[in-house]
């Protein structure tokens, strides 16, 4: 291992400049910067995100995979727009666009819907990419455009056939036996992402089965969808946001669903964040929209590099 940094000095200077632009943007919007703990006795129970575990004074604690639960407790307590710019940690994520330790920007806007927040994400990104065009599609629209499938009604069998055709059968048996969500993720990452328009692209109205912590409502066609969105810049996934679930009982039910999924798939079963459920039940959690944005990836796009090691110091 070389002792030398992996990022150049200009890249580090650009990172500092990026932080400054972000902080000035939120200062002007009167969104309060808050710092929240990285360590918690609770973990995420999202089946596809794993927390790093450590021992603190003999007790299990977990490095947070996002500041979401702490930020929502602040919202329930103080009803103030907030943002966090700092580290988050995810076990096992390593690649050209992934690091187990990364920098995340997450913010919440009280009284906003996810569509209003998409507008603000676009405004923030315009500070870095003034020349890039912004476009928006629903999850259904991109599936129909690129694969001629309605993702909400298609069966797992139809999705599998589509994946086999599109990928020339080059998928492992474990995926052939995959459930509908796995196949949707496979098609999205392998067949749709590479065909998205360049520029800033927002995708919204995800399948209800992929709601995570978004509200679920009916779309204009009467389809139940999740009020969740993703932002891509030049086909790189940069941000994920929700019109936030703020019902304590529903939150608890989703945590329990995730745990049941983990048990059924022999994944580690971890303690869900009871404090968040309590905050939603007992506090005054406002209607709000929130989004998390990968800062290292934003810097990669800004500098035009395809390798995260160019933008992190080590």
Partner 1 sequence: MGNYSTSEFRSGLKVMLDGEPCAILENEFVKPGKGQAFNRVKLRNLNTARVWERTFKSGESLESADVMDHDMEYLYTDGDFWYFMDPISFEQYPADKKAVGESYKWLKEQELVVVTLYNGSPLVITPPNHVEIEIAQTDPGIKGDTANGSTKPATLVTGAMVKVPLFLSTGEVIRVDTRTGEYLCRAKDS
Residue 233 — left, alpha, or beta (φ > 0 → left; ψ -120 to 50 → alpha)? beta
* Single residue of 14, 29, 135, 182 touching partner 1 by CB under 8 A: 182
Which residues ranging from 184 to 203 are in contact with partner 1 (CB under 8 A)? Answer: 185-186, 188-190
Q: Give the residue with the Cβ less far from partner 1, 106 or 120.
A: 106
Query: Does 208 engage in binding with partner 1 (CB under 8 A)?
Result: no
Contact region with partner 1 (CB under 8 A), list: 13-21, 43-51, 53-61, 248-256? 43-51
Calpha distance 202→270 (Å, rounded): 32
Residue 228: name the closest of 147, 139, 152 by CA: 139
Q: Give the residue with the Cβ less far from partner 1, 131 or 170.
A: 170
Contact region with partner 1 (CB under 8 A), list: 3-11, 46-54, 105-113, 271-279? 46-54
Q: Which residues contact 90 (CB under 8 A, 6 or more apart)?
A: 49, 50, 51, 52, 65, 98, 100, 102
* Single residue of 28, 30, 170, 264 touching partner 1 by CB under 8 A: 170
Within 215-292, residue ranges assigned H as helices are 248-264, 274-282
Which residues ranging from 49 to 78 are in contact with partner 1 (CB under 8 A)? Answer: 49
Query: Does 181 engage in binding with partner 1 (CB under 8 A)?
Result: yes
Residue 219: name the closest of 241, 203, 204, 209 by CA: 204
Query: Does 210 engage in binding with partner 1 (CB under 8 A)?
Result: yes
User: SS3 for 40?
Assistant: strand
Calpha distance 163→67 (Å, rounded): 35
* Single residue of 12, 23, 38, 93 touching partner 1 by CB under 8 A: 93
Going from the C-alpha of 19 to that of each of 76, 128, 161, the distances in angstroms are 27, 12, 45
For residues 206-222, one letter each, b for 16 or more C-beta atoms within 10 angstroms of the residue's C-beta and e for the rest, the string is: bbbebbbbbbbeeeeee
Contact region with partner 1 (CB under 8 A), list: 45-53, 56-64, 114-122, 268-276? 45-53
Query: Does 212 engage in binding with partner 1 (CB under 8 A)?
Result: yes
Footprint on this chain of partner 1 (rule: CB under 8 A): 46, 48-49, 92-98, 167, 170-172, 174-175, 178, 181-182, 185-186, 188-190, 210, 212, 228, 230, 237, 240, 292, 294
């Amino acid at each position: 291992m070389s002792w030398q940094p992996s990022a150049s000095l200009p890249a580090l200077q650009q990172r500092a400049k990026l932080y400054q632009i972000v902080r000035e943007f939120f200062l002007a919007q009167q969104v309060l910067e808050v710092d929240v703990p990285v360590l918690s006795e609770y973990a995420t129970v999202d089946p596809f995100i794993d927390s790093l575990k450590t021992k603190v004074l003999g007790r299990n604690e977990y490095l947070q995979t996002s500041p979401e639960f702490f930020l929502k407790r602040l919202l329930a307590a103080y009803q103030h727009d907030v943002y966090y710019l700092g580290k988050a940690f995810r076990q096992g994520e390593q690649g050209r666009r992934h690091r187990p330790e990364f920098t995340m920007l997450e913010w919440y806007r009280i009284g906003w819907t996810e569509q209003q927040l998409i507008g603000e994400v676009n405004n923030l990104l315009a500070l870095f990419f003034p020349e890039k065009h912004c476009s928006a599609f629903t999850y259904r629209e991109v599936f129909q455009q690129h694969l001629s499938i309605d993702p909400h009604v298609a069966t797992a069998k139809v999705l599998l056939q589509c994946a086999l055709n599109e990928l020339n059968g080059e998928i492992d048996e474990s995926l052939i036996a995959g459930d509908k969500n796995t196949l949707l993720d496979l098609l999205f990452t392998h067949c749709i992402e590479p065909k998205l328009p360049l520029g800033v692209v927002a995708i919204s109205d995800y399948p209800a089965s992929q709601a995570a912590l978004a509200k679920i409502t009916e779309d204009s066609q009467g389809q139940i969808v999740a009020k969740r969105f993703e932002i891509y810049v030049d086909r790189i996934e940069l941000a994920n946001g929700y019109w936030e679930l703020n019902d304590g009982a529903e939150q608890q039910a989703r945590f329990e669903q995730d745990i049941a999924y983990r048990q059924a798939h022999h994944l580690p079963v971890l303690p869900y964040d009871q404090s968040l459920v309590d905050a939603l039940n007992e506090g005054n959690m406002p209607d709000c929209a929130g989004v998390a944005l990968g800062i290292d990836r934003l810097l990669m796009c800004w500098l035009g590099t395809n390798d995260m090691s160019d933008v992190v110091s080590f």
